[in-house]
Amino acid sequence: MIYFSLTIGLILIIFLSFALCGLWTKYANPRMVRGFLFPGAIVHELSHALLCLVTGTTIKELNLFKSDNTGIKYDKPKIPFLFDFMIASAPIFGCAFFIFFISQLLSNPIHLSDTFPQEFHFTFKGLFDLIRHLLDTVWATFHAFKNQFHIKNIRHIIFVIAIIIFTISMAPHKQDIKHLVLGFSILALIFFFLTKAGIDLLEYRGWNFFIKELWEITALSISVLATLLFITLITMGCIKGYRLTFGQKGSGK
């Protein structure tokens, strides 16, 4: 079932981007990290601001160009959980839109599969098949990207940089994670029961296109974030090992 696959994928993006952004900010040069991610930070905060306006939530403060205080502060939404979820999830869809937009602008430089998962059944096997299909899609996306990417192609380089910036910029604020996980889970259940009731929104061309693109961007984002997180952890381990080994020798002299 595509909605449950998307939910699991989006939740993975939430935690992977949050962890990666936290590690980069903590262990790398914060100013360099903020500078590199600046375009994504603009999209992130403006997405929050747009949904604040849509939901009638008062924006108390919005800083976009102050390197030491970039962010948005707003009052408590009028409809607590619903509007909290909408505002919290806005950067994920805002950043996903920019990945799609840049891909179209560059004439879709990397072609990826958008095959939907099969029907989901409420059994352990069904859940296992669902997760396996998501992982298979992510793995296939990683291989497709690796095989098609050419370092000498400027469009590919721009696309890779854009993907890195906007996937990491999906990282939520810590207090938003609970709203996102619960909200996406509830949405998946709603769409599932609508489908069971005979209301298949995928029959509508616009919705089908949106879900296919979101599914493709979700798989791509997980592939990029998981790879970057793996590289980051390996690099951190090597640096700490080097410091422990040579630092101790240096202190004994």
The residue behind tokens 């040069």 is: 29
| Cα gap 151→18, rounded to integer Å | 28
Cβ count within 10 A of residue 158: 14
The residue that leads in pLDDT, 70 or 23, is 23
**Residue range 197-242, pLDDT digits in tens:** 888 888 888 998 898 889 888 888 888 888 888 889 888 888 888 7
| Cα gap 17→176, rounded to integer Å | 13
For residue 137, what are its two tokens? Answer: 């899609």
Question: So what's the pLDDT on residue 53?
Answer: 94
The residue that leads in pLDDT, 154 or 140, is 154
pTM of the model: 0.84
**CA separation, residue 36 to residues 66, 69, 174, 179 (Å):** 14, 16, 21, 28
DSSP strands (E only) in the chain = 59-63, 71-74
Question: So what's the pLDDT on residue 244?
Answer: 82
Q: Domain boundaries in the chain?
A: 2-252
Question: So what's the pLDDT on residue 94?
Answer: 95
Q: What would the mean pLDDT of 164-177 be, rounded to a whole number? A: 92
- How does the average pLDDT of the chain come out, rounded? 83
**What are the b/e assignments for 182-217, b being 16+ CB within 10 Å?**
ebbeebbeebbeebeeeeeebeeeeeeeebebbbbb
The residue that leads in pLDDT, 89 or 202, is 89
